[in-house]
Amino acid sequence: MNKLYSLTEVQTRIEKDAFLSFPAKLYKDDPFYVRPFDIDVQKLFDPGSNKLLRKGEAIRWLLYDQNRNIVGRIAAFIDVDSARNNDQPTGGCGFFDCINDQPAANELFTAAKIWLEERGMEAMDGSINFGDRDNFWGVLVDGFHEPIFNMPYNFPYYKELFENFGFRNYFNQYTFKREISMVGVKDIIKEKAERVSQNPDYHFRMINWNHIDKYAVDFLDIYNKAWGVIPGSKKLTIAHAKGLLNKMKPILDPRLVYFGYYQDQPIAFFIMMQDLNQIIYRFKGKLNLFNKLRLMYHLKIRKDCTRVVGRIFGIVPEHQGKGIDGALIMTFSKVASSPGFPYKDIEMNWIGDFNPSMIKIVENIGGYIHKTHVTYRYLFDRNKTFVRAKIQE
């Protein structure tokens, strides 16, 4: 009997294009699907763009049926540094898309498992990104609403495909939502924020792009103290921090970026950005010159973005629990209440269930869980005890 499916490693230009375009065909009848920019996916597998490939490895496959129709895709990768920062050497699989067929999914998962196992890995996480955690990470299991920019959207049946193969829930990633207005913020947050605002040692300000190098240094200092100490997160370099802000600058509304200081030392930031998915759904994954101009037109002239995304929120440990979070939100709310402010809703994504303190902060300012993604883990030794991600105190 012939096998139902056959795997092909992605190598040629045609195969690379097919890897990028397959999801758009799979989701062609789904009104919520938004194709990400092809270039954002391509760069992850380009050694010239993704520094993780200097030491790590990555591979992609396409799955064909007997009629040579593509029915699935997957990538596997090893980030050498993070692979060892686990209870066992752990690789990753991602960019998984597949028809609703368990044998097809099993072919893809098995290919990733064998490839990782041959390279010394003892587990794999999926569906994850070969790069920063805040993009292309997790399997959507609840809240099948409009996706936000570069966050995964998938069919509900993906949950069963993963779990039937043997993946288990390593941690949940929550996306919280709330209106921009201050309605729903708990009184205790407002009271703490007011006390902080009355203390002359504290001050809060909107970013000024004319001083981007200073803010890059401040961002670096806060991020490495607040996030760089958490397992799975890497400390930033000044080059990375400057690159991140310079990349954001052309499109990011400065009214969405705030920093907090204590005695002129940086202690907190709150960075939001417009949800570009409200515009780029028209672009079919292409970011050519024409679409760049269209993006700026819809963003700056028509102001078609009414939703913002909370990209990252950080407070240095010694100032946590003092009302800094509320003070940042209150500073933003004063700007947001001004006439002509175009944004109505905010979604705060990528808050892991291993981070209860951050969950509490978001709930206290009126956020509620809008979507849930899962990072799954598959242990190659099926007799080994499975342990979920450790709670961060």
> 64 has which bridge partners?
6, 70
Largest CA distance in the chain: 78
Higher pLDDT, 234 or 260: 260
- Give the whole-angstrom CA distance, residue 79 versus residue 163: 24
Within the chain, residue ranges assigned H as helices are 13-26, 38-42, 80-83, 102-117, 158-165, 187-198, 212-226, 238-248, 277-280, 289-296, 324-336, 356-364
- Give the whole-angstrom CA distance, residue 282 versus residue 37: 11
pTM value is: 0.92
pLDDT of the residue at 133: 86
Q: Of all helices (H) and strands (E), which one includes residue 265?
A: strand 265-274
* Model confidence pLDDT, tens digit, residues 52-76: 999 999 999 999 999 999 999 999 9
- Of the chain, the percentage scoring pLDDT greater than 90 comes to 78
pLDDT of the residue at 132: 82
DSSP helix/strand/coil, 371: strand
* Model confidence pLDDT, tens digit, residues 243-276: 889 988 999 999 999 999 999 999 999 999 999 9
Token code pair at residue 69? 């129709």
- For the chain, the average pLDDT equals 93
* Model confidence pLDDT, tens digit, residues 361-382: 888 888 999 999 999 999 999 9
Q: What is the mean pLDDT of residues 285-306?
A: 94
Please check the confidence at residue 233 and state whether its pLDDT lies above 50: yes
Q: pLDDT band for position 182 (50/70/90)?
A: low
- Give the whole-angstrom CA distance, residue 191 versus residue 20: 50
Q: What is the mean pLDDT of residues 133-148?
A: 95
Q: pLDDT band for position 94 (50/70/90)?
A: very high
User: How would you classify the pairing of strands 307-315 and 345-352?
Assistant: parallel
Q: What is the mean pLDDT of residues 350-357?
A: 92
Q: Which of 46, 240, 277 is nearest to 151 (CA)?
A: 277
> 203 has which bridge partners?
261
Q: Which of 43, 44, 102, 45 is nearest to 71 (CA)?
A: 102
Q: pLDDT band for position 96 (50/70/90)?
A: very high
Please check the confidence at residue 1 and state whether its pLDDT lies above 50: no
* Model confidence pLDDT, tens digit, residues 275-294: 999 999 999 999 999 999 99
pLDDT of the residue at 229: 67
Domains in the chain and their CATH numbers?
5-170 (3.40.630.30), 181-343 (3.40.630.30)
N- to C-terminal Cα separation, the chain:
55
Q: What is the mean pLDDT of residues 152-166?
A: 98
